[in-house]
Structure 1
Amino acid sequence: MKDRIFALDIGTRSVTGIILQKQDQRYHMLDFFTLEHKDRSMRDGQIHNVVAVADTINQVKHHLSDKYGTLEKVYVAAAGRALMTTQATASVKLQDKPITTEETIRHLELSAVQAAQAKLAVEEQTANLSTYYCVGYSVLHYQIDNQQIGSLIDQRGDEATVEIIATFLPRVVVESLLAALTRANLQMEALTLEPIAAIHVLIPESMRRLNVVLVDIGAGTSDIAITNQGTIVAYGMVPVAGDEITEAVSDQYLLDFSIAEKTKRSIVNNGEAVVKDILGFESTINYDTFVNDISTAIDYLASQVAEEILRLNSHPPKAVMLVGGGSLTPNITSTIAEKLQLPVNRVAVRGIDNIDQLSSSENLPIGPEFVTPIGIAISANQHPVQYVSVSVNNSTIRLFELRKLTVGDCLIQAGIDIKKWYGKPGIASMITVNGKEITIPGQYGQPPEIQVNEFLSSVDMPITDGDQISIRKGEDGDSPYVTIEELLGDIRPIAIYVNDQLRPLYPIYKVNQQRQNKTYTLKDGDKIQWHQSCRVGEVIHTVSNENLSTEESFIVYVNKESIKFSVGTSIFVNNRRVDPGHKLRQGDRVHYVHTKEPTVKHLLDRLKKDYWYSIAIHFNKEIIQLSQPRYSIKGQQGLINQDTVLRHNDHIEIFEKEQPSFIFQDIFRYIDLDVTTMNGNFSILINQRPSGFTDPIHHGDRLEIIW
């Protein structure tokens, strides 16, 4: 039977055998035969009675071999409904150290897949994780501190989490399938998955980059497969399908289940059916009445399928393809489109006439229910699922090559928890900041080193049969390497003005009582003290390097009247008097004055009195200012002048003199005149008039001595 292909679709209700003839790159259907199981030997795609299923297979084989000769090898598929899908999460503590590589994210995703595998094992009450083959997973979302985020790269926070949805094929499904074939004297030529088979013949490889859903609506279950980015990313199943509609017909029209099934098919194919209910009444049911009567069941089926699609895919896909006998349910395409909020033309039933590789033939069956059986034959021939054997740390494991296998798949199947192969974090440092203890965690341990055939590799690298994989624990992390600036952050200076000069206030750091700059690398046990001079008294002390004297009240009695003024440091911020503890803000303007020992001049300034009476005269073309006290001031010790230091509670008497006057000879106290070098007579002139040494002079006069 050269170039002939024998394939079996072993379903829950029946077994369908197909004979295809390969002609170049196309396939011609020669024959098919379907036989129902005698009893419920299969449930939800799982063989429960190997002997009974083998008997049905044997009958189908003999029926076809009578026409086409001995059949020894067969292409088969594991049912999509046998796949198990579960969700799981994995988390890693960041401690404000972000993830920087995609490889770290892949490791986190694999940990989530392993968590899903363990979760499934608990649910199925088995301790052997290797009994489940991971056939694919997809990321639902990433989170930082429970907040959903698009990517984990360079994100800061306390904890990073990934949630995945993973699909597993129980090993027992394949083993029971092999057992039934062996009992029927058949050898498995190749294996595939039913969803993969249908997708391979309906969706060209170039279109698998699109997010498309295939739903095989059978009798008892609806199997779902989702493509995206060139591969199948998720599988699912809902236990609602064509039988749900048949039961609704049975309930609505009081029909036996088998008669209800025939009635359903007759109305769908012919537009009406004549039925007799269990009470013996005969009636004719047309298509519109039929659809209206079972609309609730149709809506329920569509809702269940749509909800599972959204659970697996997280959002509506680009399109949905329906195959299987249940896809002929009236209005199912439009109802699913409505549930997924898709245009009606994005959900369609696909039949065998949509299989491009299949040649037209009079032997072709009609309808979408034969897409999967034909897909099994073609897909298993073109893309058979093979066993792959690899070594992981010198232990041999076997995997089904349901898709392109990677190092990560091998680690999962080998039961290696990749998180445990990371190096330990470095020892943390304990430091004190302004009296508060802080723990600085050590640096992360290094990721494990993975080699394939003694070459460095990653978890994403594809593997082939016979590869030798080794994984070595990563190096432990070092102690933390943190500077003061990294710990406390970039503390910006406060800009203020002190006596009209800009003075930025930078933080002051001390480590173990020694002044340090912000680039100092912290060590275990360090005690940090830091502050930023924000109180005006501290700022003035820093700027002037002088200790501020406390501003105090000072009283002097002048002509028996008390005069009160301040001594010490007077401080003003934005023209408002403040005390040294006043806290400064950005842009404040500070003015200060030190008054240590008050003098008579300070007192006169307070009284707004000018101690000196002055005039300006011209002498030999120079302006000379002549001064003499305007006041006579008497203290407790006698006459005093403006430089005399005052004491608290001093009694002072101030008398204003009569209008002071000046004479010509007063100028000799202000000029240097060497008369020894001058010979002959001289003349004294005031404003060019002859005068004498004792003549009075006034403001603005011009004085001359002419020899």
Structure 2
Amino acid sequence: MIKETYTFALDIGTRSVVGLLLSEKDGAYEVIDTVIQEHGERSMLDGQIHDVISVSNVISSVKEKLEEKHGTLQEVCVAAAGRALKTIRAEAHIDIEGKPIIQTETVFHLELMAVQEAQKQLALKEKAMQEYDCVGYSVIHYNLDHQEIGSLVDQQGKIASAEIIATFLPKVVVESLHAALSRANLEMKALTLEPIAAINVLIPPSMRRLNVALVDIGAGTSDIAITNEGTVTAYGMVPIAGDEITEAISDQFLLDFHDAEQAKRELNTSESILVKDILGFENEILKEDAIAQIHDSIDKLASAIKEEIYSLNKEASPKAVMLIGGGSLTPKLPEMIAEKLNLPLNRVAIRGIDAIKQLKFAGHLKKGPELVTPIGIAISSNQNPIQYVSVKVNERSVRLLHMRKLTVSDSFLSSGIQMSKYYGKPGLAFIASLNGQSITIPGTYGEAPLLFKNGKVCSVEDEIHNGDEIIIEKGKDGRSLSVALSDLIDAVPATHILLNGERIQVEAKLALNGKPASLTDLVADRDSITYSFPDQIKDILPGGASFAPFHLVVDGSRVQLDAFSGKILINHVPALPSSPFEEWDQITAVPTESPSISQVLSELKIAAYDSLQVLYNKEPLTIKKMTAEVYRDEKLLSLGDKIHNGDRLTIKKQPPSSFIFQDVFTAVDIKIPTEGSRKFLLLKNEKETAFHEELLPGDKLSIKWI
């Protein structure tokens, strides 16, 4: 078993997996050993595991190499890729006119409403394709009557609002990490986030009030985190990194990718590089000449990083830029980034492990900026581990990422409960929008929702633990109406068409705040209700069906076969999938077919075989001989094989030839006697004949065993 003082950390990147053992004693750290192994194939994309089995194999290999020297490894610290994080700014406001002074509880409710608004924006932006965990939020500022204010507690006015920045992590990222580690017989001891890991060891909290950009340049992507106002304000990613430079060297000097990668690394340590191109010629190239020839690619990388920093930092340059990761060693890159951001050269720097205080390395290990993130993972995962906590919210099980102190409000965010819907209706009228038209609904002041934790009254900022049960009850309404969509819309509008002779009802899509809704959904202040009909034929046709013209490439020539082509008719007039339709239109939709070889040959007027009718043992027998062989990608096809739209076929026609007695054996199963003589006579029309004897229609054939 490995020493208990060692921490095993993995940095699972796009190009490679870095395994690292770290020991800690009295606040000082030592890197005991590292193993770096590249992925054998494109099993990672933009920080997300796309091939769990392939990635787990690399993890297992790294683990086994460390175990050979240091003993069994069972637990590991890992990080979720920062490029997967989403940061959303959102604002929420409440009407406080005529109400008592604002209490702390009300401010927390306001912040929670703002975070839930960020969740809505993310769902609309990502089209609800995957679920996200909120891993933290920061208040940017509070406003009272549209004027910024330091605190809302004990204030009075008309309108109070809070603007926040919330960070979300796709659940699938963590789940795929769990799956890959499990296959490698590893248990996730702790989880952190890559930007947090790097920032924790390079940018302490005391420095985060400064506007600094941290850029982690890997193989396939460059991850960016921005600090300001005491927190991490944004995360981003550009799909350009070290591989872009390697490919430029490969193209420029005719090197394979591996040799180009080696040449790129030598540019940082040598004044010239000796390369051997794919033709076998050796060339010595001065460092400055090599850099000049790949200048455009370096400039492209620097420009992409600059644009993303501007986008994340409100179109402004930060005070400084820190570069980490193996790609940060790209020659001239810091100078180009400084120039594009209009920063002095000493404000853009490569930060390696030397920047980490109280850290030393075992003597046999090489140091480099690519180790900053894995070291940060090992340190941060122990200091601020993320774990899962399970609670129940209104009897529904909810699992939360525990990367900081969790509160009741976090359980509401993960459960999808909208705090605004649990407030008593406000005293003043609230407004909803139906297809852009404002609708005013009168009401009076209501009360805040009632919150209970394990049966006792609690507040949204109360801490929660594994197994807690949370109940939220709607606050008492004043004298307002509880309005559902059915109160505003009697029935979901519908239209009708005839599709292939069958009457079809097409209902409008009903949405509440951009999300699918039903007539029973309740309407809250500023809700947006919309309904719309599909406006193109393809929106009502079965998914996956193709209606394209059917064509083949036969012996190098393109041939269109209308008999198998799809077609769409509106009121018997040809139409396209994008064509609009109206109520009671008659729509005929015939998908493109996948015919058999036999059908294709028939349509091409090509005979598949010749046949001859004879009598064998006094029974009618048809003998067939193929006259056309069809190949797809050099593979011989049979007459029943299906042909797909766009297939390339080769048809080889056989020269005409006579049928001979031997062809009988292709049509009948000859049974050889198990006993007695196996000598035989071939008879045609009662006369002895031979295998190669030509046959004519109606010939009487038989085999006589002697």
TM-score normalised according to structure 2 size: 0.58
CA contact (8 A) 2:423 2:448 kept: yes
What do the CA deviations read for 1:530-564 (whole angstroms, capped 9, x no partner)?
A: xxxxxxxxxxxxxxxxxxxxxxxxxxxxxxxxxxx
Flag the 1:97–1:279 CA change in 2: closer, same or farther, 3 A.
farther
SS in 2 for 1:426: coil
Partner of 2:386: 385
Alignment of 1:194-233 (within 5 A): 194-228=194-228, 230-233=230-233
- Give the Cα–Cα distance (whole angstroms) in 1 for the partners of residues 233 and 124 of structure 2: 24
Deviation at 1:103, TM superposition (A): 6.2
CA contact (8 A) 1:9 1:77 kept: yes
CA contact (8 A) 2:425 2:443 kept: no
Flag the 1:383–1:88 CA change in 2: closer, same or farther, 3 A.
closer
Partner of 2:39: 37
CA contact (8 A) 1:389 1:466 kept: yes
Partner of 1:20: 22
Partner of 1:190: 190
Partner of 1:50: 52
Deviation at 1:82, TM superposition (A): 2.8
Deviation at 1:368, TM superposition (A): 0.3
Partner of 1:173: 173
CA contact (8 A) 1:138 1:234 kept: no
Partner of 1:257: 257
- Give the Cα–Cα distance (whole angstroms) in 1 for the partners of residues 99 and 266 of structure 2: 63
CA contact (8 A) 1:208 1:227 kept: yes
What do the CA deviations read for 1:433-490 (whole angstroms, capped 9, x no partner)?
A: xxxxxx99765544434455667665455544455444332343569xxxxxxxxxxx
Deviates more, 1:374-383 or 1:164-173: 164-173
Deviation at 1:377, TM superposition (A): 1.8
Partner of 1:589: none
SS in 1 for 2:36: strand
Deviation at 1:253, TM superposition (A): 3.8
SS in 1 for 2:359: coil
Flag the 1:318–1:91 CA change in 2: closer, same or farther, 3 A.
same
SS in 1 for 2:243: helix
Partner of 2:426: 425
What do the CA deviations read for 1:380-409 (whole angstroms, capped 9, x no partner)?
A: 223221222333334332211233434332
What do the CA deviations read for 1:347-394 (whole angstroms, capped 9, x no partner)?
A: 221111222132243133221011111222222223221222333334
Partner of 1:686: none
CA contact (8 A) 1:197 1:376 kept: yes
CA contact (8 A) 2:87 2:235 kept: no
- Give the Cα–Cα distance (whole angstroms) in 2 for the partners of residues 366 and 53 of structure 1: 25
Flag the 1:108–1:237 CA change in 2: closer, same or farther, 3 A.
farther
CA contact (8 A) 1:136 1:234 kept: no
- Give the Cα–Cα distance (whole angstroms) in 2 for the partners of residues 10 and 428 of structure 1: 53
SS in 1 for 2:360: coil
CA contact (8 A) 1:136 1:232 kept: no
SS in 1 for 2:411: helix
Alignment of 1:113-128 (within 5 A): 113-121=115-123, 126=128
Partner of 2:406: 405
In our comparison, the structure showing a higher alpha carbon Rg is 1
CA contact (8 A) 2:14 2:218 kept: no
Flag the 1:401–1:341 CA change in 2: closer, same or farther, 3 A.
farther
Alignment of 1:538-549 (within 5 A): none
What do the CA deviations read for 1:288-321 (whole angstroms, capped 9, x no partner)?
A: 3334333333333233223333433435444332
Deviation at 1:284, TM superposition (A): 3.6
- Give the Cα–Cα distance (whole angstroms) in 2 for the partners of residues 115 and 222 of structure 1: 29
- Give the Cα–Cα distance (whole angstroms) in 2 for the partners of residues 245 and 99 of structure 1: 63
Partner of 2:296: 296
Alignment of 1:14-413 (within 5 A): 14-83=16-85, 85=86, 87=88, 89=90, 101=102, 107=109, 109-121=111-123, 126=128, 131-138=131-138, 165-228=165-228, 230-277=230-277, 283-314=283-314, 315-413=316-414
Alignment of 1:680-699 (within 5 A): none
Partner of 1:682: none
- Give the Cα–Cα distance (whole angstroms) in 2 for the partners of residues 428 and 4 of structure 1: 62
Partner of 2:555: none
What are structure 2's unaligned runs of at least 5 residues? Answer: 431-439, 481-706
Deviation at 1:168, TM superposition (A): 1.9
Partner of 2:698: none
SS in 2 for 1:268: coil
Deviation at 1:415, TM superposition (A): 0.2
- Give the Cα–Cα distance (whole angstroms) in 1 for the partners of residues 294 and 162 of structure 2: 42
- Give the Cα–Cα distance (whole angstroms) in 2 for the partners of residues 97 and 200 of structure 1: 46
CA contact (8 A) 2:384 2:404 kept: no
Flag the 1:360–1:275 CA change in 2: closer, same or farther, 3 A.
closer
Flag the 1:341–1:408 CA change in 2: closer, same or farther, 3 A.
farther
Partner of 1:473: 474
Deviation at 1:96, TM superposition (A): 8.5
For 1:376, give the aligned amino acid. I
- Give the Cα–Cα distance (whole angstroms) in 2 for the partners of residues 262 and 376 of structure 1: 27
What are structure 1's unaligned runs of at least 5 residues? Answer: 430-438, 480-707
For 1:43, give the aligned amino acid. L
Flag the 1:237–1:476 CA change in 2: closer, same or farther, 3 A.
same
For 1:400, give the aligned amino acid. L
Flag the 1:138–1:342 CA change in 2: closer, same or farther, 3 A.
farther
Partner of 2:504: none
Deviation at 1:59, TM superposition (A): 1.4
Partner of 2:5: 3
For 1:132, give the aligned amino acid. Y
CA contact (8 A) 2:35 2:62 kept: yes
- Give the Cα–Cα distance (whole angstroms) in 2 for the partners of residues 190 and 301 of structure 1: 33
For 1:409, give the aligned amino acid. D
- Give the Cα–Cα distance (whole angstroms) in 2 for the partners of residues 108 and 35 of structure 1: 48
Deviation at 1:220, TM superposition (A): 0.7
Count of matched residue pairs: 465
Flag the 1:114–1:295 CA change in 2: closer, same or farther, 3 A.
farther
What do the CA deviations read for 1:110-169 (whole angstroms, capped 9, x no partner)?
A: 4453344345445655577xx311123456788999x99788978999x98877654322
> What is the root-mean-square deviation of aligned Cα atoms in Å?
3.8
For 1:81, give the aligned amino acid. R
Deviation at 1:201, TM superposition (A): 2.0
- Give the Cα–Cα distance (whole angstroms) in 2 for the partners of residues 217 and 155 of structure 1: 49
